[in-house]
Every structure is written in structure tokens, then in C-alpha cells.
Amino acid sequence: DKITIDAESGQGLYYAGRRIDNAADDPDIVVVALGTNDFNAPDAFKETARLSLQTLQEASCVVWVDTQEFEPGLAEINSGLVDLTEEFDLHIAGWSALAGPSELHTTDGYHLSAAGQQLFADLIAATVETNCLRADG
């Protein structure tokens, strides 16, 4: 019933730490959607993501949106997220599998068009509904 969105454009995981700490203060369902801003530091990403997930351990459900793989390092980031599902109760919203068609992006090829934004939002909603919302609670 209560949704809080704490967002800022252009934030990678390192700079999103305060927002993740804030989410941990009142955990329920947490969605992390960072985009592609960590492409140049895939090794650091996995360890920082691990620390973030430790911070969010009290959340009833954590969904992390993976990233489209159009730069070197992004496949490594997605692979690191998959690895972390073995350590944490983490659900991945598979944006990488959907993000390819050019009509989902603006002319710069990176940012999402209205159709891309809608598909992205629908993916998050479906992932939360499937993995986090239960009929019994």
C-alpha cells in the first residue's frame, strides 16, 4: 500500500549506498535498478552488491534489475548478480533478456523510450508480483 521511490539519474552502485541504507531502515520489498553506470568496474560491483545485500537482509524480498549488455563489463555485472542469488534471497528482474530492440531506446541507443520505460516498469511489477507478493500475506 505504501510505495517509496528514492531515485536519481546517473547513479552507480557505489553512489547508491545511502539509498540502500535508507531502504534497510524500513525494509519490506526493495527493488534495486541501477542501469549501466557501473560498466567500468565489474569486479568492484560484485563486492559492493554483496555488501548492499547484507545491509538489506531484513527486507522481506529484494529484486535487482539486471542490465542491458551493450558495454564491456555489463555481462560480468549480470553474472555477478546471478552468483549472489546463491548467497542471498535475491530475485533478478531480467532486463538484459528484453532490452535489445531499438524501439525500446531513444536515438542515443542508451536511454529508454516511452515503450522501453513501460516494458521496464512492467518487468519490475511482474517480478515483484511473482516473487514477493504472496496470497497468504
Give the Cα separation of 54 and 77 in Å (integer).
18
Give the Cα separation of 102 and 131 in Å (integer).
29
pLDDT digits (tens, 9 = 90+) for 57-82: 989 999 999 999 988 889 999 999 99
Give the Cα separation of 105 and 102 in Å (integer).
5
pLDDT digits (tens, 9 = 90+) for 119-128: 999 999 999 9
> In the prediction, which pLDDT does 21 show?
78
Q: Are 59 and 31 in contact (CB under 8 A)?
A: no
In sequence order, the 6+-apart residues with CB closer than 8 A to the CB of 112 are: 104, 105, 106, 120
pTM, 2 dp? 0.89
Nearest to 7 by CA among 43, 39, 41, 34: 34
Give the Cα separation of 75 and 69 in Å (integer).
6
Retrieve residue 102's grid coordinates: 531499438
